[in-house]
């Protein structure tokens, strides 16, 4: 008798997790679609951490940085930051050097 209930419970559990997996897959597909649309429009799929504006990729000193269309904030990921500062030249490297003195 307990085997019937165990089988039913397992079936309901599998159905529940299958449904949750499908929902997660749909959310990821929507996120990918938004990212592709944003890239085609010349904007980033990320939002500004400061004001929630759209980030637009902009070329600066051979590096693509993201500029917010609302607050004009400049946002760099670690690779972009490293590229700008690794040469030890330019205004940004001089600014960092002056802070460390």
pLDDT digits (tens, 9 = 90+) for 66-82: 888 899 888 888 888 77
- 40-76 in b/e burial notation, b at 16+ Cβ within 10 A? eeebbeeebeeeebbbeeeeeeeeebbbbeeeeeebb
Average pLDDT over residues 1-14: 84
pLDDT digits (tens, 9 = 90+) for 33-65: 776 776 666 656 678 888 988 888 888 777 788
Q: In CATH, what number does 44-101 get?
A: 3.10.20
Poorest-confidence range of 6-15, 18-27, 38-47, 67-76? 38-47
Domain ranges for the chain: 1-41, 44-101
């Amino acid at each position: 008798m307990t085997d019937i209930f165990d089988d039913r419970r397992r079936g309901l559990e599998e159905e529940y997790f299958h449904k949750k997996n499908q929902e997660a897959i749909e959310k990821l597909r929507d996120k990918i679609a938004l990212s592709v649309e944003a890239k085609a429009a010349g904007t980033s799929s990320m939002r500004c951490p400061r004001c929630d504006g759209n980030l637009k990729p902009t070329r600066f000193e051979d590096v693509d940085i993201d500029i917010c269309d609302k607050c004009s904030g400049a946002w760099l990921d670690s690779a972009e930051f490293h590229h700008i500062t690794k040469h030890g030249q330019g205004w940004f490297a001089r600014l960092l050097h002056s802070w460390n003195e």
